[in-house]
Chain A
Amino acid sequence: MTTSPGVNDFALKLANVNGTGSASANGLLMQSIFRMGVPVSGKNLFPSNIQGLPTWYEIRVNGEGHTARSLEYHLMVAMNAQTYAQDVAAVARGGYVLYDSTWPLDDELIREDVHYLGVPLAAMCRDNFTKNRERILMKNVAYAGALVALLDIDLDIVSNLLAETFAKNEALRESNQRALRLGHDYATSHFTCPLPFRVETRDANRDAILVDGNTAVALGCLYAGATVVGWYPITPATAVMDNFIGFCKRYRRVEVAPGEWENNYCVIQAEDEIAAIGMVLGASWAGARAFTSTSGPGISLMNELLGLAYYTEIPAVVVDVQRVGPSTGMPTRTQQGDLLLCAYASHGDTRHIVVIPADPHEAFEFAVAAFDLAERFQTPVFVLSDLDIGMNDWIVPSLTWDDSFVPDRGRVVNDEDLATMREFFRYAGEDEDHVTARTLPGSDEKGAYFIRGSGHDQFGRYTEDSAAYLQVVDRLRAKHAASADHVPAPIIETRPGARVGLVTMGSCDRAVREAIEMLAERGIECDYMRVRAFPFPSSVSDFVTSHDTCFVIEQNRDAQLKSLMAIELSLAPDSMISVLDYGGFPLSASTVVDAVTSHLEVH
């Protein structure tokens, strides 16, 4: 399936070597297009390495707002000799290859059906800059300059961005501006600029921001009022904490005496993820809002204590920025392989609340919601993000905050309440959601109770009695089920006459929506459902049963969402068809369209 590129409709791919400073030049291009008011996305496909391995960045410009990953590249910026062959091969017929013509291209890299744009980047930088490091870094800014000319990106916008970025560093600002002009001037004097596909100013991003999910999640935790954090570094979740700490330094400092500042937060870099979740449980038990963020390997380690939290009913918020598993897997690639792990984490009968954002905007909102859910239902809540959401910049509507927000701290009995009670029992007296009241350490002695992960009855006492045990675990099951009415409901969009349903979750959102339009153009009308939480509200099974054919599109090998739906909603597994894409890159619409059409053709 090939389409011809045009104004505000094309994709480019930049092939770089990691550790050479390409990321900021690539981000500069993407952000400039965003500022021109045109929908755009940037996907960083990077290695798990600090320096020297291939890394790619993909920019897709689409006036219609389709910013999922595209597999068709109209322009390749080939800056990595190691991957020249595969990069040149990846360009769409009729497309362009921009390369460093300081050195000639090998004959076997020449394709008849693509255009070559040679820019002597290394030579240019060698002649214009003196420091070695600068000569390497400025090649990136120089190709960005050439692209600005070739794609008709507003030079003033780019130049302003550079000025903002290097506001505090005159020397860097000057060399960046110079490199930008070098590339720009070379392109205008040697090629026909712009190319047939280009960027044209629009006004699509007026109320939008450009943000990654790890930043947005951190903001959500900040706004939800989290004060205690235990964490252990892991890609792709580390930036959640970098950001959270950064925001805390800005917004959570208290001037206790003139010039003397103290923190109303406590972030602890733990010795491992077991300790990290342990700290969260200790802090939540004590009455703080606490969270941790990690990726799959960390969740695996946390399992025992997650079960403890479930059984003893301690709130906890766990952000899982998923990466490719199993084991260490591919740490810098994206996947949705932790759904089942999170839904049922720990031994014995356990089940958790999982909220699944599709983009950074939802990541912010769901992070806030996660704390309310965790405290209301006194249980662990997972925010299931992924590397694509967490580490890539997305255009999303601006984040808003309602200043009348009051956190839902759930059923907490204080001293005043205790004074009116004859006795307090931790696990007795459930409400309509099967939640019982808790007290906090430091409460009046009447409210003191003893948490234990061993068998306990509704009074919190140790038990080995079946009936007393069953009463508690059966209530936990009912409590989890009751939370289905409080978690984010699925997004459902219908089209007239559609008999086919496409079901998905998380970051697959934009690709599947685009696929629905592409399928409609081919006469296949599909309804859409994006599941946003576990446990599933009843609308999830209604959607499946009301369609002749339902495809479940997800990014893991074992059809985890489909399996979870089949198990939890008693749907026959073969009533749903899996579309699975789990190689580690963000989903693209064409993958979905191909899978759906080929299935429908056969059946």
Chain B
Amino acid sequence: MPSIAKPRIPLAPLVHNELGLTIRDYEGAMSTLCAGCGHDSVTAAISLAFFELSIRPRDIAKLSGIGCSSKTPTYFINGAHGFNSAHGRMAAIATGAVAAHRGLHYIGVSGDGDSLSIGLGHLSHAIRRNIDMTYIIENNGVYGLTKGQVSPSADVGSRPKKGDPNVVPPIDPMELGLAIGATFLARGFSGDKDQLVPLIKAAVAHRGFALLDVISPCVSFNDHEGSTKSYRFFREHEVHEIEADYVPQRAEIRSKISADSARAVTMHDGSVMYFRALPEGYDPTNRLTVESYLAERKAAGEVPTGLLYVKENAPDLHDMSGTIAQPLVEVSHRDLCPGSEALAQLQRAFR
């Protein structure tokens, strides 16, 4: 149900994915964000990633918190159910949904304020529980929707449009994730679709909590000289190093990264994620080297992007809880209710 009808005139002949669907089938309502907002580019990348993965829209569930970023799930994949929840609470709500219905692909979209201040607790615990979902932080270093307050991801010294430079050290979601046992950590840039789309695809394929920190500049409140989350700053300081591509098991699509110079990680479903690390010897499956690498780059004032860390085959919420393979929502009441005889029997202990 788009709130504003979108002109549906294809500019070029539309490509079909394995399901025979076109990219149009992965689009949503017309965005109402500011022209040039990084979030809109992320929206486009999400649509494209799911299109290319050939996942049925009905098998996707979209969730978000509150903020400009959290508005975006309505701008992609109309055919998927969506839940624009409350400020900071998306991770908790997603946890319940994943617990109830493990048969869907969950994609959560949040902001740096939503995830790193009000929702930091829920995010951390969703990471610990390794909820099987893709969680994107559209990180602009600012509270966009409430008009430009400094956010917990703003770098020290970075200046909001109004007010004084930030003096409080930021929370880096990648460092946080590493510290508390995240199983998939990647950073992208809204302005680099070629890198972002494969990262999202890999995140979706990952079984467990895939955290994607996407630098996504806010053109209205944080895209000026002095902001470290501006297009310009990011283009100058990004070290685009750990390239990744995702190749589903079923298709022999050639990875953009030539296979000879790349390393491969086999995902739980047999699909393969290729990545090429420019720094010699960088190993995204080795937590210790990742940690020191990130610290080094940070000290050098650089922001590495790409697949930073991955740990396949770690137990997720359902493994840890010992839940049946069938989604709980599909178990009939007949199989859930012990019945009158059991009730009579167990009450013998109450006598």
The answer to whether A binds B is yes
Q: Which residues in B have their C-beta under 8 angstroms from that of A274?
A: 89, 92, 122
User: Is A328's CB within 8 Å of the partner chain B?
Assistant: no
Q: Which residues in B have their C-beta under 8 angstroms from that of A228?
A: 96, 99-100, 328
Query: What is the 8 Å Cβ interface bit string for chain A, positions 426-466, against chain B (1 contact, 0 not)?
Result: 00000000000001111111001111111000011110000
Q: Which residues in A have their C-beta under 8 angstroms from that of B57?
A: 445, 448
Query: What is the 8 Å Cβ interface bit string for chain A, positions 386-426, against chain B (1 contact, 0 not)?
Result: 00000000000011111101110000000000000000010
Q: Which residues in B have their C-beta under 8 angstroms from that of A278?
A: 85, 89, 92-93, 95-96, 122
Q: Which residues in B have their C-beta under 8 angstroms from that of A425?
A: 1
Tell me whether A209 and B351 are in contact in the complex, defined as CB-CB below 8 angstroms, given that A279-B99, A461-B1 are known contacts: yes
User: Is B146's CB within 8 Å of the partner chain A?
Assistant: no
Q: Which residues in B have their C-beta under 8 angstroms from that of A230?
A: 92, 95-96
User: Is B331's CB within 8 Å of the partner chain A?
Assistant: yes
Quick one: which of A34, A225, A281, A442 contacts B59, CB cutoff 8 A? Answer: A442
Q: Which residues in A have their C-beta under 8 angstroms from that of B96?
A: 228, 230, 268, 278-286, 290
Residues from 243 to 268 in A contacting B, C-beta threshold 8 Å:
250-252, 254, 256, 261-268
Q: Which residues in A have their C-beta under 8 angstroms from that of B78?
A: 445, 448
Decide if A283 touches B100 in the complex (CB within 8 Å): yes
Q: Which residues in B have their C-beta under 8 angstroms from that of A448?
A: 57-58, 78-82
User: Is A35's CB within 8 Å of the partner chain B?
Assistant: yes
Instruction: Quote the shortest CB–CB distance from B211 to chain A (angstroms).
Output: 17
Q: Which residues in A have their C-beta under 8 angstroms from that of B343?
A: 219, 223, 399-401
Tell me whether A406 and B101 are in contact in the complex, defined as CB-CB below 8 angstroms, given that A282-B92, A449-B82, A460-B1 are known contacts: no
Stretch from B170-178, B302-310, B316-324 contacting the other chain: B316-324
Decide if B89 touches A459 in the complex (CB within 8 Å): no
User: Is A566's CB within 8 Å of the partner chain B?
Assistant: no
Q: Which residues in A have their C-beta under 8 angstroms from that of B328?
A: 227-228, 264-266, 288
User: Is A6's CB within 8 Å of the partner chain B?
Assistant: no
Output the residue of B80, B93, B338 with the most chain A CB within 10 A. B93
Q: Which residues in B have their C-beta under 8 angstroms from that of A251?
A: 338, 342
Q: Which residues in A have their C-beta under 8 angstroms from that of B61?
A: 286, 441-442
Query: What is the 8 Å Cβ interface bit string for chain A, positions 279-319, against chain B (1 contact, 0 not)?
Result: 11111111110100000000000001100100000000000
Decide if B81 touches A401 in the complex (CB within 8 Å): no
Residues from 193 to 221 in A contacting B, C-beta threshold 8 Å:
209-211, 215, 219
User: Is A518's CB within 8 Å of the partner chain B?
Assistant: no
Quick one: which of B58, B85, B98, B100 contacts A445, CB cutoff 8 A? Answer: B58
Tell me whether A227 and B83 are in contact in the complex, defined as CB-CB below 8 angstroms, given that A256-B324, A287-B329 are known contacts: no
Instruction: Quote the shortest CB–CB distance from B349 to chain A (angstroms).
Output: 9
Decide if A407 touches B321 in the complex (CB within 8 Å): no
Q: Which residue of A lies closest to B348 (CB)?
A: A209
User: Is B181's CB within 8 Å of the partner chain A?
Assistant: no
Q: Which residue of A lies closest to B330 (CB)?
A: A287
Tell me whether A400 and B100 are in contact in the complex, defined as CB-CB below 8 angstroms, given that A227-B331, A265-B328 are known contacts: no
User: Is A272's CB within 8 Å of the partner chain B?
Assistant: yes
Tell me whether A268 and B95 are in contact in the complex, defined as CB-CB below 8 angstroms, given that A210-B351, A403-B339 are known contacts: yes
User: Is A172's CB within 8 Å of the partner chain B?
Assistant: no
Residues from 446 to 488 in A contacting B, C-beta threshold 8 Å:
448-454, 459-462
Q: Which residue of A lies closest to B94 (CB)?
A: A282
Decide if B101 touches A287 in the complex (CB within 8 Å): yes
Instruction: Quote the shortest CB–CB distance from B295 to chain A (angstroms).
Output: 28
Query: What is the 8 Å Cβ interface bit string for chain A, positions 159-175, against chain B (1 contact, 0 not)?
Result: 00000000000000000
Residues from 66 to 102 in B contacting A, C-beta threshold 8 Å:
66, 73-74, 78-86, 89, 92-101
Q: Which residues in B have their C-beta under 8 angstroms from that of A261?
A: 322
Tell me whether A254 and B93 are in contact in the complex, defined as CB-CB below 8 angstroms, given that A440-B329, A450-B82 are known contacts: no
Instruction: Report Cα–Cα, A285/B306, bound state, in Å.
Output: 34
Instruction: Report Cα–Cα, A254/B121, bound state, in Å.
Output: 33
Residues from 219 to 259 in B contacting A, C-beta threshold 8 Å:
none
Decide if B321 touches A266 in the complex (CB within 8 Å): yes
Decide if A406 touches B58 in the complex (CB within 8 Å): no
Chain B residues in the interface with A (C-beta under 8 A)? 1, 3, 57-59, 61-63, 66, 73-74, 78-86, 89, 92-101, 103-104, 121-122, 124-125, 129, 317-318, 321-326, 328-329, 331, 333, 335-340, 342-344, 346-347, 350-351
- Please give 18 more A-B residue pairs, beta carbons under 8 A apart, in addition to A262-B323, A401-B343: A210-B350, A210-B351, A227-B100, A227-B331, A261-B322, A266-B321, A270-B125, A278-B92, A282-B95, A282-B98, A285-B97, A287-B101, A288-B101, A290-B96, A305-B86, A443-B58, A450-B82, A453-B84
Chain A residues in the interface with B (C-beta under 8 A)? 34-35, 209-211, 215, 219, 222-225, 227-228, 230, 250-252, 254, 256, 261-268, 270-272, 274-276, 278-288, 290, 304-305, 308, 398-403, 405-407, 425, 439-445, 448-454, 459-462
**15 residue pairs from A and B, CB less than 8 Å apart:** A222-B337, A264-B323, A264-B326, A282-B96, A282-B98, A290-B96, A304-B86, A398-B347, A401-B337, A405-B337, A441-B61, A445-B80, A450-B82, A453-B85, A459-B1
